[in-house]
Structure 1
Amino acid sequence: MIPYPNISPEIVRIGPFAVRWYGMMYLMGFVSSYLLVRYQIKKKGLNLSRDFVESLYSYLILGLLLGARLGYVIFYNLSYYIQHPLEIFAVWHGGMSFHGGLIGSIIAGVLFCKKLRVDVWQIADLVIVTAPIGIGLGRLGNFINGELYGRVTDVPWAMIFPSGGPLPRHPSQLYEFFLEGIVLFSIVWLLKNKGFKTGMLFSLFVIFYGAFRFFVEFFREPDPQIGYILGIFTMGQILSAVMVFIGLTIAYLRRSI
């Protein structure tokens, strides 16, 4: 067993205000994505201005945050929020969904591209190859917060999380950091210049993320308010399986164009 490092979630506190690692990870993810998208635009010689990218990210960030919150409400605890609707706005109590955030950012991105009459698939490919950076950093934030930990296990690298009871558990946040962050970024970034039709990089991200998340969910503790679906699957696995199906469908349709 490896001791949990028990890092303070707060980087610094000034009076009632605190800068937290989780929020810093989000900020670092957005900044990294923005800079890498600018880098790709310059490298490819695309006629997309800095103002365009900045406006795009204002849409994407808003869509991601709204989608992540509403996704958690709908997918993970709808009955509770129907009874307590004002709690939907209590984001400081926690509760964000990756799948909801992805849906929200896709909707926002599509609306933005349609408004300015630019190719949705081209923009999707530029942005999506940078997404694993933010995802990986977010998982590190989950690890520092001691949340979204894994199932009870006796593997040598198991850890006892402060809020996870006395038994050692899988550090599943680190599994996700590795697969959904490092590995996924390596795959899509290396493939970005291979001459695929537009939309293919987006579909590959959706397929690989869904597959990696489906696998890691076997080691991650299910959400207590839902538990297992059909006896063995988690809500995260159901949503990730849908992602793989959608990704394969997009890949098939884009190849045939």
Structure 2
Amino acid sequence: MQLPHIDPVFLRIGPLEFRWYGLMYILGFIAAYFIVLRRARKRSLLLSADDVADIIFYLAVGVILGGRLGYILFYNAPYYLEHPLKIFAVWEGGMSFHGGLIGVVLAGLLVARKKRLGFFTLADLCVLTAPVGLGLGRLGNFINGELYGRVTDMPWGVVFREGGPMPRHPSQLYEAILEGPVLFIILMVVGRKERPAGVAFWTFVSCYGLFRFFVEFFREPDSQLGFIMGPFSMGQLLSFPMFLLGLAMVLIITKKGKRTE
């Protein structure tokens, strides 16, 4: 199956270009605002619409800065040391989920203190927005024909323009499904019952780590890194500890919560 040519720029106004990938970020942040506002009111938290807008702004800045710096440090530090001005060329791509997670946690700590909320109360409130942004982002990767999978003989293999003539796994779509609707449903189920603060957040961390570790077996490793420690990619080395840490924290918090009941 040949990937149809989709212009990564969906709108041009003079010298300005608006790209599908950037649109996915914007849609994700807009959806996050309404999800958090609705969940805050449902939980009777004293957060106004302006408070929620502030929270989303802080988290958006954390995602973007953390994602960019994470990509530079984890995936391509030598290149950016030689070309430091390219650090600011975000339109050329290069974002890391793991860096974005670190950035959003730091931003969350700051905004939680500013709004006088417990960090895990805020994290559990906002965590349902993550699968929406992740799913949209992976669709943006597919439209751009980037972060494609390994060569495959499966009938749904896709020929990506940048990936040569061989059909490859559409790993962006695998991730979009697992990190998007599947993870969203899991977090919805977890959130239906009253649970100790932090359970929803650490469930997200664990499930994302597991899903990303699994899909990386079908995804082509970054060309500048290749495989690390045998058959594993950098994404897997960063994701598997997330799975273990998240699972351990869910068990610890749940057990501690039962003791205090």
TM-score by length of 1: 0.96
The range that moved more, 140-149 or 74-83, is 74-83
The residue number in structure 1 matching 2:123 is 124
Q: 5 Å matches for 1:95-244?
A: 95-244=94-243
Percent pairwise identity: 55
Name the CA distance, whole Å, in 2 between partners of 1:162 and 1:86.
28
Offset, 1:5: 2.5
TM-score (norm 2): 0.94
The range that moved more, 83-92 or 20-29, is 83-92
Does 152-161 or 39-48 show the bigger shift?
A: 39-48
Pick which of 200-209 and 236-245 moved more: 236-245
Aligned to 2:26: 27
Consecutive aligned runs of 4 or more in structure 1 exceeding 4 Å deviation: none
SS at match of 1:151: coil
Separation of aligned partners in 1, 2:91 and 2:137: 16
**Helix, strand or coil at the partner of 1:163:** helix
| CA–CA separation in structure 2 for the residues paired with 1:114 and 1:202 | 18
Q: CA RMSD in A?
A: 1.2
Q: Secondary structure at the match of 2:35?
A: helix
Question: 2: CA distance between counterparts of 1:220 and 1:89?
Answer: 26
2:53 counterpart of 1:83: no
Worse overlay, 188-197 or 247-256: 247-256
Contact 1:147 1:163 in 2 (8 A): yes
Q: Is the 8 A contact 1:200 1:254 kept in 2?
A: yes
Structure 2 residue ranges without an equivalent (≥5): none
The Cα of 1:198 is off from its aligned counterpart by: 0.9
| Residues 129, 192 of structure 1: 8 Å contact kept | no
Number of equivalenced pairs: 256
Q: Helix, strand or coil: the match of 1:23?
A: helix
Equivalent residue for 2:50? 51
- Matches of 2:221 and 2:129, distance apart in 1: 28
Specify the code of the residue in structure 2 equivalent to 1:252: L
Amino acid at match of 2:134: I
